[in-house]
C-alpha cells in the first residue's frame, strides 16, 4: 500500500484526514507555479496599453499626490 503522500504526488489527488469521522486536515498537491512570479506576470500582462495620461510623467503625478 502506498503512503498518502505518494498517492497525492502520483495521482494529483486530495486526501482528507479524519478523526472520529470528521475531516481535520487535508493533504493536497502543492502548486507548481511560484505565486510571486504569477502575480508579476499578471501585472505585466494587464498593464499593456495603460498609460498615465497624455503628457504626464510619473514625477508630476507624485508631486500632485503630495499636494
Q: What does the alpha-carbon distance between residue 58 and residue 48 come to, in Å, rounded to a whole number?
A: 17
Which three cell numbers, joined as nine digits, stand for 65? Answer: 499626490
More confident residue, 6 or 21: 21
E strand intervals along the chain: 15-19, 22-27
- Mean pLDDT across the stretch 23-49? 86
- Residues paired with 18 in a beta bridge: 23
- What's the pTM? 0.40
pLDDT in the model for residue 25? 93
Which three cell numbers, joined as nine digits, stand for 18? Answer: 479524519
For residues 52 and 62, the answer to whether their CB atoms sit within 8 Å is: no
CA atoms within 13 A on the CB side of 48: 6
Amino acid at each position: 500500500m502506498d503512503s498518502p503522500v505518494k498517492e497525492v504526488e502520483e495521482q494529483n489527488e486530495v486526501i482528507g484526514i479524519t478523526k472520529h469521522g470528521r475531516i481535520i486536515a487535508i493533504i493536497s498537491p502543492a502548486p507548481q507555479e511560484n505565486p510571486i512570479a504569477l502575480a508579476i506576470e499578471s501585472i505585466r500582462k494587464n498593464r499593456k496599453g495603460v498609460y498615465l495620461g497624455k503628457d504626464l510623467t510619473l514625477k508630476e503625478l507624485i508631486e500632485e499626490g503630495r499636494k
